[in-house]
Structure 1
Amino acid sequence: MNLKITGLNFDVTEAIKNHVTEKLERINCHAANVISVTVTLSVEKVNQKAEADVHLAGKDLHVEAVEQDMYAAINVLMDKLDRAVLKHKEKSGDVRGSKPEVVEE
């Protein structure tokens, strides 16, 4: 997995890089087909914004979160990203025609 962390109007520190990579481990557990992740962190007046573009095999996901604190924005972003990856995983698994269950009476 390729990881790129950038900051707009914001200096990305080692602590923030470590926090992002630690949170991305959970995403890697749920989806092994992650090709690359681009995380963009920005400051807009009072709000802290975190965005992620995830390139999966066959799908691109874009998720963003805006909070008052950068660490809170990263946490919310990773929660949203986790839900999006799980949803994509469920949808892609259902495509190949699962057989209907036979109920015996």
Structure 2
Amino acid sequence: MIVTITGKHIEVTDAIRAHAEEKVEKLPRYYDSITQIEVVLEGNNSGMQGVEILVHAEHNDLLIAKETGTDTYACIDVAAHKMERQLRRAKEKQRSHKAASASEVADIEIASQLPEEGVA
């Protein structure tokens, strides 16, 4: 898994980089097939900071979480939490589709094994 942390109009200090890495390193717990994580920190003249977390997964899946505020660390925390929820939801959706298809196959197999009615 590749983790990239970049800044636009903001200097990414070692402390900010360490905090962001700490938060995004936990994301693979929630979704197995993550291939790359990008954290983009944005700053502007009005004092507002923005954080965008992009998670690339297998099969060209891309999940994005954004947060803006005055504190960069708080924005990283909130964006990471948003991404955790998205990853949990995506994994649950993936599981439910796999489980449904497996149960449908089992129902078809059981139905094919039952004797037909009306046949003497």
TM-score in same-fold range (> 0.5): yes
Matched, 1:54 2:61: no
The answer (yes or no) to whether the contact 2:30–2:88 under 8 Å persists in 1 is yes
Match of 1:70 in 2: 72
Runs of 4+ in 1 over 3 A off after TM superposition: none
Aligned equivalents of 1:30 and 1:53: distance in 2? 15
Higher strand share: 1
Q: Which has the larger radius of gyration?
A: 2
Q: CA deviation at 1:21?
A: 1.0
SS in 2 for 1:95: helix
Please list the CA deviations of residues 33-77 of structure 1 after superposition, one character each: whole Å capped at 9, or x if unmatched.
Answer: 110011100112221100011101131111100111000100000
Distance 1:71 1:92 in 2: 31
Alignment TM-score, normalising by the size of structure 1: 0.88
Q: CA RMSD in A?
A: 1.4
TM-score computed with the length of structure 2 as normaliser: 0.78
**Matched length:** 100
